Structure 1
Amino acid sequence: MKLFRLDPPAAAITSAAAHGTRRMRILATGMLVAMAALFVLARSLAHHHPAIGYVQAFAEAAMVGGLADWFAVTALFRHPLGLPIPHTAIIPRNKDRIGDTLAAFLRDNFLTSAVVARRMRRVDVASAAGRFLSQPSDGDGRLRQGASRLAANLLEALDQERLGGMVKGAIVQRLRGLNLGPLLGQALDAAMHDGRHAPVLDSMIGWAGRTLEANDHLIRDMVHARAGKLLRWTGLDENVANAIITGLQKLLADMAEEADHPLRIKAEEALRNLAADLQFDPEMQARVALIRDEIVDNPAMQAWINGLWEQGRASLLRAARDPSGAMAGRFGEALRQLGGTLQDDPQIRAVLNRLARRSVVGATAAYGDSIVKLVSETVRGWDAVTVTSRLENAVGRDLQYIRVNGTLVGGLVGLALHAVDMLL
């Protein structure tokens, strides 16, 4: 699965390094061959003019310097001319020790808590995160797209039945773990303390009045059915029903208008008692817990939880597949506001930077030895040819410059020595 494209690729970098090394090797070898040819030519013409002796001395010393440096450079990676000369092929013979030394160098100079902490003090992680969040279009789009594809692929690769069951099980477990009695009691107590229960009572009284008006025939039928024959014959049952309905309507109207109505006070007292029972009565809390469990076990509630998971998963997939669209909505606006806060608030930046510094230092202390061990074991796992090839590609071009310099410096030294000899 291809997530990111490195630019330039690591293989291209390695190929370019190898090409550069070959080019410099040809140049250094060509100079050595040229100096040998120049030496032969100068030696054959030395009797024609005394100045040719200077050319011969330069070429001779340049050959010596070039050959010496060729031997030294070659001896690092292989046996010169294939001969098993002692102390040659140094890197292939000592690759394990080199790996251990490199690992120790990393541990002692880079992966120590003091070095990491000192480096992290100069890194403003919070400001960088704030700039990225507040101006996401200025960030690395490939990184964001790659991370989005990774998140989407992970979500799609997971076993949705199993994952969904785990999520729904966790939601149900949290719901069953809620002690709703005290929460409801505290909420009711706080609402009554602030007077927020009054509109609820008014609504209940208004609902009772409308219900009475819409169903007054039920009261009339009940009175008529229970009245004696005499009352029904004289029509008094209708008067009794009208009186009952009128009395109930007046009672409800008085309760709606008078805040200190006795029945309204009784209702408020009942609410206070209910709030107290919800908070402190174990029996009431057990009844609420039973109702809670019945609601959670209800098929409709289970279907709602299942739909909640499906909606959440679909939203995550949409956001992962279209990060730009997600950043354009409310979520993106919240992230941009967070980015602005990180840039503008020095206290929050200091806290986050300190947290990042402690996290990195802690990770270094906890996993530094593992990183060092990984380096050492990786080098040990390479064969001698791989180690030689990689190191030669990494530093071979500079080593070939040493051969070139050795040829030139050797020639200049030989020229100076010949000049001194002629003067003396």
Structure 2
Amino acid sequence: MAEPNSEISPNLQRSKRFAALALVIAVLIWLALMVAAKLLPEYVWLIHILMLSAEAGVVGGLADWYAITVLFRNPFGKMPIPKFLRDHTEIIPRNKARIAESMGRFVQENFLSPQVVEKSLANTDLSLAFGQWLATPQNNLQITQLIQQSAPKIFEFIGQDQIGKFIQTNSVQWVKNTEINHLASEMLRAVLENDFHQDVLQRGLDVAHEWMLKNPEKIQEISKRLFKEMGVWKLAKGASWIGIDVQQRSIDSLIERIEAMLSDPEHPWRNHIEEFGQQLMLELADKNSHASTKLNDTKNALLESPQVLNFISGAVVILCNAIKDDLEKPNSGIAQNIRIAIQQVGESIISNQAVRELLNDKMSSVAINLSDQYSEKVIRFISEKIHEWDSSEMIDKIENEVGGDLHMIRVNGVVVGAFIGLGLGLIRAFVDYAF
């Protein structure tokens, strides 16, 4: 059980002093006026008016003191008092359970219900505020500095070797357990449907054609080596004795075929590539096909190779060291790129209304779902925490928060009571004088 909080806030202490001082002053004035009534009988009518004002101030101060005190504790202590009086003391501690439930329900109904969350988010452009925050140089600099300071420490704490082993143990195993034929099929579908392969082929043919024209000596050397590997070099060399340059004709024929493919989008070879891609995509979509089985078997064979596993671990260590060393530099290139990327993301969010609407819808859906799923748990947590409070601790918490204003009511009770008493005294004096 938690110990009571013995610290009293300065505001509460000040209010208690003012209230006590106001009550003491009212009592002293009342006593002084009783003495003055005996010493100055000729002014007794005026003294009685003022005495009534002081009495009302004392009564008002004491009444408010009692009303405030019974909220938190029993002012009678162990004195024998009627049950109806005792039952209406220590109001807050006695009703702790009801207060806990009421506070939890209040939070739920006014802050966490899906309807309230949806209404609040409907009038708020969260993505715009987020984009503006990211686009602010001071903010993206802080994020970058946090990454720059934290990442090297994380690498040091965990260790690059441990990271490499973790990736080797978990990621490699995950890839082993994953049949990648379907993923490859979908990637190939995206390439074919967007004609990306045609663009790649066109650019590749352009590069190859330009290189062959600019490097005839190297083409000659490559074709000579190829002929030797195929075992037809001597035959080609013999043909050159009778005026037939097989090597150059082969090179010219290849260049002509490349130029034909470049100039004709419907070239048969292009169509063959297209048909091969379509056929491969369909085969990879079937996990039982020969292409899928071969792809998965090749993947598993690579991942079971000690050389591949050692390469993965070593590459991770090298990559982690490179990132760590770069981030530790004052003019880190990685940190600068991260900051630029954050800035660009923020600016893109600000400028793209469609993206903002999409983000707002997604964030609103997530917030509404969370409020629907977890609001009851939050309310239960609040109620349970209040139930767990010691009564003395609960009194201290509430009194420290609102006790200052409550005890100022005692001051008001003295002052207001005094003015009411003064008014009543004037009325009585007028009646006595008139009649």
CA contact (8 A) 2:144 2:338 kept: no
In structure 2, distance between residues paired with 1:322 and 1:76: 62
From 8, 30, 45, give the equivalent of 2:21: 30
The aligned amino acid for 2:222 is T
**Which deviates further from its counterpart, 64-73 or 172-181?**
172-181
TM-fit CA distance, 1:280:
5.6
Shift in CA distance, 204/367, structure 1 to aligned 2, threshold 3 Å: same
Describe the superposition over 1:309-363 as per-residue Cα deviations: whole angstroms up to 9, x where unpaired: 4466568878998999688522322221221122222222222222222221221
Residue 173 of structure 2 is aligned to residue 169 of structure 1: yes
Instruction: Name the residue aligned to 2:58.
Output: 63
**Which residue of structure 1 aligns with residue 221 of structure 2?**
210
What per-residue deviation string (whole Å, max 9, x for no partner) do you get for residues 378-411 of structure 1?
Answer: 0000110110000000100010111110111111
Aligned pair 1:18/2:9, yes or no?
yes
Aligned pair 1:366/2:357, yes or no?
Answer: no
1:46 paired to 2:37: yes
8 Å contact kept, 1:99–1:380:
yes
Identify if the C-alpha distance between structure 1 residues 324 and 107 changes in structure 2 by more than 3 Å, giving closer, same or farther.
farther
Q: Which residue of 2 aligns with 1:3?
A: none
Q: Read off the aligned partner of 1:395 and give its amino acid letter.
A: V
- The answer to whether the 8 Å contact 2:61/2:413 transfers is yes
- The answer to whether 1:127 aligns with 2:128 is yes
| TM-score normalised by structure 1 residue count | 0.75
Contact 1:191 1:197 in 2 (8 A): no
SS of 1:120's equivalent in the other structure is: helix
Distance 2:151 2:226 in 1: 60
Change beyond 3 A, Cα 1:81–1:182: closer
TM-score by length of 2: 0.73
Cα pair distance change 1:41/1:31, threshold 3 Å: same
Q: Which residue of 2 aligns with 1:102?
A: 103
Confirm or deny that 1:394 pairs with 2:398. no
* Distance (Å, rounded) in 1 between the aligned partners of 2:315 and 2:11: 60
Verify the 8 A CA contact 2:176 2:299 in the aligned structure 1.
no
Secondary structure of 1:259 counterpart: helix
Q: Measure, in 1, the Cα distance between the counterparts of 2:341 and 2:237.
A: 67
Unaligned residue ranges in structure 1 (runs of 5+): 1-13, 224-236
Whole-Å separation in 2 of the counterparts to 1:323 and 1:171: 38
Is it true that 1:355 corresponds to 2:355 in the alignment?
Answer: no
> Residue deviations 1:40-71, cap 9 Å, x none?
11101114123222321121111100000000
State the secondary structure of the residue aligned to 1:329: helix
In terms of mean alpha carbon deviation, does 350-359 or 163-172 score higher? 163-172
Structure 1 counterpart SS, 2:252: helix
Q: Matched residue of 1:132: which SS?
A: helix
CA gap of 1:152–1:200, structure 2 versus 1, over 3 A, is closer
> Larger deviation: 52-61 or 143-152?
143-152
Distance 1:194 1:291 in 2: 26
Asked if structure 2 preserves the Cα contact closer than 8 Å seen for 1:181 and 1:285, the reply is: no
Identity score, percent: 22
Q: Please give the residue correspondences for 1:176-215 in structure 2 after superposition, counting only pairs within 5 Å.
A: 176=180, 190-191=197-198, 195=202, 198=205, 209-213=220-224
**Equivalent-residue separation in structure 1 for 2:240 and 2:318 (angstroms):** 55
Q: 1:106 to 1:312 in 2, by over 3 A?
A: farther
CA contact under 8 A between 1:181 and 1:288: conserved in structure 2?
no
- Partner of 1:88, secondary structure, is coil
Aligned residue for 1:80, secondary structure, equals coil
Distance 1:242 1:148, change over 3 A: closer
Shift of 1:82: 2.3
Supply the distance in 2 between the matched residues of 1:324 and 1:400 (Cα, whole angstroms).
Answer: 60
8 Å CA contact retained: 1:130, 1:343: yes
Return the alpha-carbon distance in structure 2 between the equivalents of residues 218 and 371 of structure 1. Answer: 76
Match of 1:78, as an amino acid? R
In the alignment, is the contact (CA less than 8 A) between 1:176 and 1:293 conserved in 2?
no
Which of the residues 71, 76, 86 maps onto 2:71?
76
- Is the 8 Å Cα contact of residues 96 and 387 (structure 2) preserved in structure 1? yes
Structure 1 residue aligned with 2:246: 248
Q: Report the CA distance shift for 1:322/1:391 in structure 2 as closer, same or farther (over 3 A).
A: farther
Alignment of 1:262-273 (within 5 A): none
Deviation at 1:122, TM superposition (A): 2.6
Q: How does 1:373-412 map to 2 (within 5 A)?
A: 373-412=380-419
Pick closer, same or farther for the CA change 1:83–1:412 going to 2, 3 Å: farther
Structure 2 residues without counterparts, runs of 5 or longer: 1-5, 80-85, 261-266, 284-288
Deviates more, 1:280-289 or 1:152-161: 152-161
